[in-house]
Amino acid sequence: MHMADALLSPAVGGTMWTVSGGLLAYSAEKVREEADDRKVPLMGVLGAFIFAAQMINFTIPATGSSGHMGGGMILAILLGPWSAFLVMASVLTVQALFFADGGLLALGCNIFNLGFFTCFVAYPLIYKKIAGDSLNGRRIMLGATLAGIVGLQLGAFGVVVQTLASGISELPFKTFVMLMQPIHLAIGLVEGLVTAGVVSFILKARPEILAAATERKPIGVSVKGALAGLGAAAVLTGAALSWFASANPDGLEWAMLRTSGKEELESGAKVHGLLASLQEKTSFLPDYGFKKAEAAPEPAAEEGGTQAAPEAEEQAPWPAVDAGTSVAGLVGGLLTLALAGLIGFALRRRNAAA
């Protein structure tokens, strides 16, 4: 559900940058007040895990579409909403800058859609209302599942509204929203179940992490075991499980294709071209793989001659075992771990110096 720049006008993209920037500043201040040393490495490792998890698109049966984890609810339940929002912003920033996943103009929208609705709407209004302050496993699983669904539904609707407000694409509101919401309901159901599974694992391994996030208090115990488990999961997911990602277009691309006939839209606006050029320079592993050399143009057929028939397009193998994908998963996870951890460390130092 990562928006591309072509969906957004500069005015809407800039506005959402400002809104997300304000939320980041507010979240940073809240995290600074917590001053929990054990949360800093947890922020980094969870960021790496969510980065890797987002690389795996799973097929939505009978649709020709696919979806991937957002991860906002996992972060909010295990870290609390403010730390979670900072980590989600770290994941999306690394993806946009170094892997060309999501546009630079759209980064503010993507942070808002994937972070705000999960951390500040679905988490307090759905998850906490159901799970409460107890560590009841069934209530936590139910709350995590429903909150994951609601968060993704709101995020999908945010994409539609931001596209409509921009008014630069060929996507009529009624058709677009009638495609976006049902497909993201299916994706949200999977997200909710995965969220419940991850949270249940942490509940058994280290329930103090959930209690600390819910009650806004320091974790108070060693989390090395949980860090090791999440770190191993991030490495395995990014380096190997990412080969099993579905090749079908994701929910947003699928909805765009059926609305306009195109998975990707183009824009002739100058700011879009400038940002696309910048992103091309910063993304050293675009589309989570090694950069491909440009193919040489085929020679034209001589006059009077016959042109060779084009070869049938070969179906991509599955699983797509690829060294570039593995490197992207590992490097992206490390970059996200470093950025999220650095943010947490800087806020802790700032609090200590105050």
Q: Which has the higher per-residue pLDDT, 330 or 353?
A: 330
Burial classification of residue 299, based on how many CB atoms lie within 10 Å of its CB (0-12 exposed, 13-18 middle, 19 or more buried): exposed
* pLDDT, position 155: 96
pLDDT of residue 348: 78
Can you tell me whether residue 1 is helix, strand or coil? coil
Over residues 97-106, the mean pLDDT reads 95
pLDDT attached to residue 314 = 60
Please, which pLDDT band fits residue 297 given cuts at 50, 70 and 90?
low
**pLDDT the model gives residue 168:** 85
Segments making up each domain of the chain, as ranges: 5-278+321-349
Query: Taking a C-beta distance cutoff of 8 angstroms, is the pair 53, 235 a contact?
Result: no
pTM score above 0.75: yes
Asked if residues 65 and 250 have their Cβ atoms less than 8 Å apart, the reply is: yes
Beta bridge partners of 59: 66
pLDDT averaged over the chain?
Answer: 89
pLDDT for 299 equals 59
Q: Alpha-carbon distance 60 to 250, whole Å? A: 9
Highest CATH level, class, for 5-278+321-349: mainly alpha
**DSSP state letters, 37-95:** TTHHHHHHHHHHHHHHHHT--EEETTTTEEE----HHHHHHHH-HHHHHHHHHHHHHHH
Q: Are residues 326 and 238 in contact, defined by beta-carbon separation less than 8 angstroms?
A: yes
* pLDDT for residue 85 is more than 80: yes
More confidently predicted of 40 and 329: 329
Report the pLDDT averaged over residues 78-105: 96
pLDDT of 72 over the 70 cut: yes
Q: Which of 195-204, 273-282, 300-309 has the lowest mean pLDDT?
A: 300-309
